């Protein structure tokens, strides 16, 4: 039984990690719904701030699977999905179980409360990973219990807390992650490495970032733009880490409208921002290692290049490995 609960929570975790870095200022959250015969009805995640929470996405998918009511598939707005579910559920969720990596929210923010929705739909049991430390949204468990839902807390809590950590960090100070792409032979130089899908994901992360940190050598050598054009997103501010203020201002990154570009020989600027991505190779990896919370690596199934990233592998633990994409995508942290 315990194994099953961990298994279903892990499915929710795997889905949520696919959107880590994309949900800021909201947390990455995953949700899985299981039917009365143990069948998986939905595995969903929160995709982006302002869009439906993971629970709403999962309830929508599960509802469709149970009823074949196509009308709900066209609904994107959380309030509309919730309203359709509440008017049409006919107790189809009566014997279902819901697994969520984060305690369902209790407040009516940009969307109505997930805790009330789950209660009103008559879900039998709910399994929760992390407690919500965001005061505005906390106490969802209490609402659920009061309304007759059996609540099981702290399921795979350590793993769920690791998923939630970037959000917690941005609430208190700032979250810094170091992203790089490498080939299977460990090289990081020599032009485009990762797939178009991965690059689009990185552009979506740039759109969500306040600040992007890049090394002076890369700016001179690659002459990058460092915007979010692949997703029509907003380009982040740039911090060029360099001992020299001398850069050719024709380099495209200097000519993106609406952004600030700083050139500094230290990382103090990071403290003025909340969600910070460092894009670097081997030198930046070494220079920034005391300032980084999480590492994100895209491993492309290719050979080539010359410069290898000298990664001290024994000092790292994997938080998530996504093998479903064209590149292997891993989130890691220092032990």
Ligand X SMILES: NC(=O)c1ccc[n+]([C@@H]2O[C@H](COP(=O)([O-])OP(=O)(O)OC[C@H]3O[C@@H](n4cnc5c(N)ncnc54)[C@H](OP(=O)(O)O)[C@@H]3O)[C@@H](O)[C@H]2O)c1
**Residue 330 within binding range of ligand X, rule CB under 6 A:** no
Which token pair is 6? 């961990």
Scan residues 3-32 and list those touching ligand X (CB under 6 A).
Answer: none
Joined together, the tokens standing for residue 204 give 């979506």
Phi-psi map region of 36: left, alpha, beta (phi>0 left; psi -120 to 50 alpha): alpha
Q: Pick between residue 55 and residue 189 the one whose CB is nearest to ligand X.
A: 189
What is d(CA 170, CA 176) in angstroms, rounded to the nearest whole number? 9
Q: Which is nearer to ligand X, 61 or 194 (CB)?
A: 194
270 belongs to the binding site for ligand X (CB under 6 A): no
Q: Which is nearer to ligand X, 117 or 213 (CB)?
A: 213
Q: Do β-strands 175-183 and 150-152 pair in parallel, antiparallel, or remain unpaired?
A: unpaired
Q: Which of 92, 121, 188, 319 binds ligand X (CB under 6 A)?
A: 188
Taking the complex as a whole, the smallest distance from the CB of residue 326 to ligand X amounts, in Å, to 16
**H helices of 68-208, where?**
78-88, 114-120, 140-146, 157-172, 196-208
Within 10 angstroms of residue 271's Cβ, the number of other Cβ atoms is: 10
Kindly state whether residue 243 participates in binding ligand X, applying the rule CB under 6 A.
Answer: yes
Q: Is 225 in the site for ligand X (CB under 6 A)?
A: no
Q: Is 180 in the site for ligand X (CB under 6 A)?
A: yes
How many Cα atoms are found within 13 Å in the side-chain-facing hemisphere of 140?
Answer: 33
State which residue, 122 or 305, has the beta carbon closest to ligand X. Answer: 305
Q: Which of 23, 26, 242, 275 binds ligand X (CB under 6 A)?
A: 242
Q: Does 268 bind ligand X (CB under 6 A)?
A: no
196-215: contacts with ligand X (CB under 6 A): 215
Q: Does 280 bind ligand X (CB under 6 A)?
A: yes
According to DSSP, residue 334 is labeled E
Judged by CB under 6 A, does residue 192 bind ligand X?
Answer: no
Number of shown-chain residues binding ligand X (CB under 6 A): 24
Contact between 284 and ligand X per CB under 6 A:
yes
Q: Say which DSSP state 308 is in.
A: B
Gap between the Cα atoms of 315 and 293, Å rounded: 13
Report the nearest approach of ligand X to the CB of residue 19 (Å). Answer: 21
| C-alpha pair distances (Å), 223 with each of 249, 252, 254, 328 | 10, 7, 10, 27
Which residues contact ligand X (rule: CB under 6 A)? 180-181, 188-189, 193, 215-218, 221-222, 241-244, 265, 279-284, 287, 307
């Amino acid at each position: 039984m315990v194994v099953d609960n961990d298994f279903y929570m892990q499915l929710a975790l795997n889905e949520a990690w696919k959107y880590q870095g994309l949900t800021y200022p909201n947390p990455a959250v995953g949700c899985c719904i299981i039917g009365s015969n143990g069948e998986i009805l939905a595995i969903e995640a929160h995709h982006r701030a302002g869009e439906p929470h993971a629970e709403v996405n999962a309830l929508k998918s599960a509802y469709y699977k149970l009823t074949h009511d196509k009308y709900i598939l066209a609904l994107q707005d959380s309030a509309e999905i919730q309203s359709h579910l509440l008017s049409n559920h006919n107790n189809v969720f009566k014997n279902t179980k819901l697994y969520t990596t984060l305690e369902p929210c209790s407040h009516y923010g940009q969307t109505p409360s997930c805790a009330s929705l789950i209660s009103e739909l008559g879900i039998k049991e709910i399994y929760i990973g992390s407690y919500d430390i965001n005061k505005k949204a906390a106490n969802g468990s209490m609402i659920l219990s009061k309304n007759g839902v059996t609540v099981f807390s702290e399921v795979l809590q350590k793993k769920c807390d690791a998923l939630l950590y970037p959000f917690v960090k941005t609430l208190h100070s700032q979250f810094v992650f170091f992203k790089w792409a490498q080939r299977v032979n460990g090289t990081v130089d020599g032009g485009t490495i990762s797939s178009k899908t991965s690059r689009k994901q990185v552009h979506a992360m740039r759109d969500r970032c306040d600040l992007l940190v890049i090394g002076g050598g890369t700016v001179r050598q690659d002459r990058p733009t460092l915007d979010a054009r692949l997703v029509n997103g907003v380009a982040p501010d740039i911090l060029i880490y360099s001992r020299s203020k001398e850069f050719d201002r024709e380099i495209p990154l200097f000519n993106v409208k609406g952004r600030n570009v700083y050139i500094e020989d230290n990382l103090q600027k990071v403290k003025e921002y909340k969600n910070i991505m460092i894009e670097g190779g081997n030198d930046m990896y070494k220079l920034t290692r005391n300032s980084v919370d999480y590492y994100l690596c895209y491993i492309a199934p290719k050979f080539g290049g010359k410069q290898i990233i000298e990664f001290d592998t024994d000092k790292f633990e994997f938080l998530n490995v996504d093998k479903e994409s064209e590149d292997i995508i891993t989130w890691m942290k220092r032990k």
